Amino acid sequence: MTINCTRRFEFDAGHRVTQHESKCRHVHGHRYTAEITVESIEGLDAVGRVIDFGRLKEVVGRWIDDKWDHAYIAHPEDWVPAALLEKEAAARVYIMPKGMEPTAENLAAHLAEVAQSLLDEDHLRVVRVVMWETPNCKAEWKS
């Protein structure tokens, strides 16, 4: 039997998909929702939990707040970050890893990798990340 738990996070961010064939190649924003599902490598804790939901918020939620919330999430070769930073020193820009467009699929995969590194010390395994770009559209990463 496997027991896991999921924490939901919401954040607002702008992006554009530079190679998109339609209107998503233009700068726009979303109210994203990310769902992170983890399971314990060592079983439930003494209280009977995989992890305290507050710990997920403290670790993963803080990273999302610091890096993605109210930021422009960009492809590494997108010209928009340079233009933003030239005009506004306080602009919040997050550059995706090399070659990654800021699609829901890539955001889910990247967040899974980041969350795993943040939660290693808690002896957790990230098993699923769902990234809702809109209320109707999501991408899902599974281990």
Which amino acids are annotated catalytic?
24, 70, 133
Place of tokens 């924003």: 29
Per DSSP, 96 falls in state P
Report the C-alpha gap between 124 and 68 in whole angstroms.
23
Give the CA radius of gyration of the chain.
Answer: 16
Q: Where are the beta strands (DSSP E) in 16-56?
A: 28-40
